[in-house]
Structure 1
Amino acid sequence: MTTLTQENYYEDTNYLTNSRYKRYQQCQAKAYAVDKGDWVEERDETPLLLGNYVHSYFESPEAHEQFLAENGDKILAKTGKNKGKPKADFVIGDKMIDSLANDDGFGRLYHGFSEDDVQKELIVYGEIEGVPVKGKLDSVNLTRGYFVDLKTMKSIYSEEWNAELKQRVPAAVNNILGFGYHGQLGLYRNLLKQMTGQEFRPYIVAVSKETMPDKEILEIDNDWLDEGLDQLKENIVDVWNVIQSKQKPTACERCDYCRSKKKLGKVVSLTQLINN
């Protein structure tokens, strides 16, 4: 297997990442086509850029400067009265950064104390159900046995409907469960234990994208971590076999890629639509 480094981490495909796994969970056919270069995904990259904008600031000054150098043209407005100034999303990003940077509780958690061994962007790797898996952790306090994942969210407490739980929940709940962050943190905790032999406590620092950002330190209960990891274990071999071309990818028949391949034939009844 490849020896993973900061330089080759994102180019390496010998290990499966959580984000790649989630793409295959959404639609195997689309993810496989993207991997093979047969389909270019069109999506708004602003949320990802904003998340990385905030992340890089707390990684190190050098990492933030590199991010700005590589993405400055996407951050600054090209036209209008604000030409040359940060776009609105990144003005909010600066507020999110300031909210955390001026919070002593965040500083102690994310950066640790002077005597702590804290690693930023630590690469973890191992095997899940025989599949090689890797990940990158925002901040790991090896001295105190915990790691922190920084998540940017639309809101933390505004209420939303959750169809699975059949109740209204704070937006952070839908964010964590909808994006599978409980599985991601369960996976990272497992990989850390494989590498160190120790149990680590995972925390999420959530910061909202509101005009006045909200923030919380969130702990995911062990039951949710176990459930998320169990779901990954149930599907990871199937996903890996598709990636390795050992089995044919299945189509979700609902995404943009599947719609591009759709041909009319069967008739769909109203009842079928309702029950779909």
Structure 2
Amino acid sequence: MKELTQENYYQDKEYLSYSRMKQFLKCPARALAVEGGAWIESRDETPLLLGNYVHSYFESQEAHEAFLKENGDKLISKAGKTKGQLKKEFLIGDSMIASLKDDPSFNRLYHGSSTENVEKEMIVYGEIEGVPFKGKLDSVNLTQGYFADLKTMKSIYDMEWNAELRRKVPTAVNNILGFGYHSQLAIYRDLLKQMTGDEFRPIIVAVSKEEVPDKEVIRIDEEWLEEGLEEVKETIKEVWDVIQRKVEPIACGHCDYCRSQKKLNSIVTLNNLIGD
């Protein structure tokens, strides 16, 4: 398989990544159109930029400075009284960083001790069900046998309804299950084992976007990891066949791309809508 490096990781299309896979699961037709240049995504970049702002700080000073240099025009205000300062929507990023950077337990967990081998932004790759798969891990403690993934969340303990569990759960639960982090970490664990031959424990370091950020270290229970990996294995070949142009993509019918292609060539009934 092709060797992945920090320089070619994001340009590479020979491997499937979890974020790429999720786009194809949402709407194969839209994802293929985006990759082919036939559709330009329109989305709010703020959550992604905020997450990367926090992530890059804990990766290294060099990484944080490079991120600011590359994205400064999107982060820094250019006019008014706040000219030259972080825009309002990104100020919470500094609070999130402050809540973690002086926490001894976080530093031990995320950065390790001087005698431990800890690798940041470690690239892992291998095969899942015969499909080439890749991932990038925030912090891997090769000495202690665990890896930590830093996740930014709206909240951790606010209660929200979960339709699948049919009850209210803390926001962190909806965040982890809704974004499929249990699947993502299960894949990373599998790829790490393929590369090293060792078992690693996946851990989430969650930090909230609240005015006073909350934080928590969350371990994903084994049954959720197994379920998450099984979900990926059940769908990965279908996704890869679409990417390889072996089968035609199915349109979801409701996303922005599908709406742009829509023609009024049928009639739906009220019962149809209720059934949907």
Aligned to 2:39: 39
Pairs within 5 Å for 1:1-276: 1-276=1-276
Alignment deviations for residues 169-190 of structure 1 (CA, whole Å, 9 cap, x no partner): 1001110011000000000000
Q: Give ranges in structure 2 of 5+ residues lacking alignment.
A: none
Find the residue that maps to 1:132 and give its secondary structure.
Answer: strand
Letter of the 1:264 partner, please give it.
L
- Aligned partner of residue 79 in structure 2, secondary structure: coil
Percent identity, aligned pairs only? 67
For residues 34-54 of structure 1, give each alpha carbon's deviation from its aligned partner in whole angstroms, at most 9, with x where no partner exists: 000000000001100011000
Whole-Å Cα distance in 2 between the matches of residues 146 and 236 of structure 1?
A: 26
What SS class does the counterpart of residue 211 from structure 2 fall into? coil
Partner letter of residue 21 of structure 2?
Y
4+ runs of 1 displaced by more than 3 Å?
none
What stretches of structure 1 of length at least 5 have no aligned partner? none
Matches of 2:104 and 2:268 in 1, distance apart? 58
Separation (CA, whole Å) in 2 of partners of 1:89 and 1:148: 26
Q: Which AA in structure 1 matches 2:254?
A: R
Query: TM-score when scaled to structure 1?
Result: 0.99
Provide the rounded CA distance (Å) in 1 between the counterparts of 2:137 and 2:190. 13
Judging changes above 3 Å, is the alpha-carbon distance between structure 1 residues 190 and 267 closer, same or farther for their aligned structure 2 residues? same
**CA deviation after TM superposition for structure 1 residue 247, in Å:** 0.7
* Distance (Å, rounded) in 2 between the aligned partners of 1:167 and 1:31: 32
Aligned-residue offset at 1:83: 2.4
What CA distance in whole angstroms lies between the structure 2 residues aligned with 1:218 and 1:269?
46
- Summarize deviations over 1:6-42 as a string: whole Å, max 9, x none: 1111011111111000100110000000000000000
1:89 is displaced (CA, Å) by 2.1
Determine the C-alpha separation between the residues in 2 that align with 1:26 and 1:263: 21
Aligned residues: 276
Q: Distance in 2 between matches of 1:65 and 1:202?
A: 28
Q: CA separation in 2, counterparts of 1:199 and 1:153? A: 27
Q: Which amino acid aligns with 2:58?
A: F
- 1:81 to partner: Cα distance: 2.8
TM-score (norm 2): 0.99
What is the distance in 2 between the residues matched to 1:200 and 1:133? 18
Q: State the 1:102 CA deviation.
A: 1.1
Structure-2 separation of matches of 1:23 and 1:265: 27
Give the Cα–Cα distance (whole angstroms) in 2 for the partners of residues 66 and 153 of structure 1.
Answer: 24
Q: What RMSD in Å do the two structures reach over aligned CA positions? A: 0.8
Paired with 1:115 and 1:135, the residues of 2 have a C-alpha distance of: 26
CA distance in 2, matches of 1:209, 1:148: 19
2:16 and 2:61 map into 1 onto residues whose CA distance is: 29
Amino acid at match of 2:69: A
CA distance in 1, matches of 2:61, 2:89: 21
Aligned AA (2:115) = E
User: Which amino acid is 2:111 matched to?
Assistant: H
How far residue 79 of structure 1 moved from its aligned partner, in angstroms, is 3.3
Q: Matches of 2:78 and 2:224 in 1, distance apart?
A: 44
C-alpha distance in 2 between matches for 1:137 and 1:47: 19
